[in-house]
Amino acid sequence: MRIVDKIEQTIQGNEAGTLFFVTDFATEGNDVFISRLLSEFAEKGILCRLAKGIYFKPKITKFGILKPDVKELVKAIARRDNAQVLPTGETAANMLGLSTQVPMNFVYLTSGSARKINLGQKTIIFKRCVPKNFAYRNELLAILIQAIKSIGQTRLTDEHKAIIKGLLEKNMPIESFDTDIKNAPIWVRRTLYNIIK
């Protein structure tokens, strides 16, 4: 079977909305050919281009083509790169309901390569960081600590604290909390202990 037919068959065999990277099909030395091929598939409507080297199988709704959301894309990139990722800054705060501002730049810490992906008016930024940021057993607490650091010690309101308390009560086993909290900066640790008292 020709490589063109094989790739098209793989795409057609996947669900609408599935993400594809040039690297999913490229073998040593043929990534330029694969890039051109996926670009041709996009022109034919078999795929849609999301960003450079990133495509998805179109999912048609009554409102038009539904694009994969940022979280799906970030997870797919992490799987592809065998990397850990963690939302930080305004991205983490918005994700947990601690901010109503939808960021234009979605910032993630990563154990993989630093990079920037442009999605039209939005940008995903991956910042390489020290392994300590991924030393948490509980994902919620890891994200929460990033969100609190982003808000800042002096800007943390009673409303923020109420939301944080609710998140911890619903999602945080106390044994994980006591272990994971040791990885947080001292002021964040003190803030969280005061909130759960």
The predicted-structure confidence for 48-69, as pLDDT tens digits, reads as follows 999 999 999 999 888 899 999 9
Task: Supply the DSSP symbol for 66.
Answer: P
Residue 1 has pLDDT above 90, yes or no: no
Task: Out of 13, 36, 65, pick the residue that ends a domain.
Answer: 65
Which amino acid does the sequence have at 59?
K
Q: Average the pLDDT over 78-98 and give the result.
A: 95
Task: Out of 33, 65, 97, pick the residue that ends a domain.
Answer: 65
Residues 109 and 123 in one domain: yes
% helix / strand / coil in the chain, to the nearest 5?
Answer: 50, 20, 30
Instruction: Name the nearest CA neighbour of 86 among 124, 123, 139.
Output: 139
Hey, which residues does 124 pair with through a beta bridge?
Answer: 106, 117
Residues 42 and 77 in one domain: no
pLDDT (tens digit, 9 = 90+) per residue, 148-157? 999 999 999 9
**What's the confidence (pLDDT) of residue 170?**
86
Share of the chain above pLDDT 70, in %: 97
Residues 30 and 78 in one domain: no
Centre a 10 Å sphere on the Cβ of residue 136 and count the other Cβ atoms it contains: 21
Q: The domain containing residue 170 runs over which residues?
A: 70-196
177: pLDDT confidence band, cut at 50, 70 and 90? confident
Distance CA 91, CA 86 (A): 10
Angle (nearest 5°) at CA 174 between 169 and 180: 110
Residues 20 and 112 in one domain: no
Residues 60 and 18 in one domain: yes
**What's the confidence (pLDDT) of residue 179?**
85
Residues 128 and 167 in one domain: yes
Average pLDDT of every residue of the chain: 92
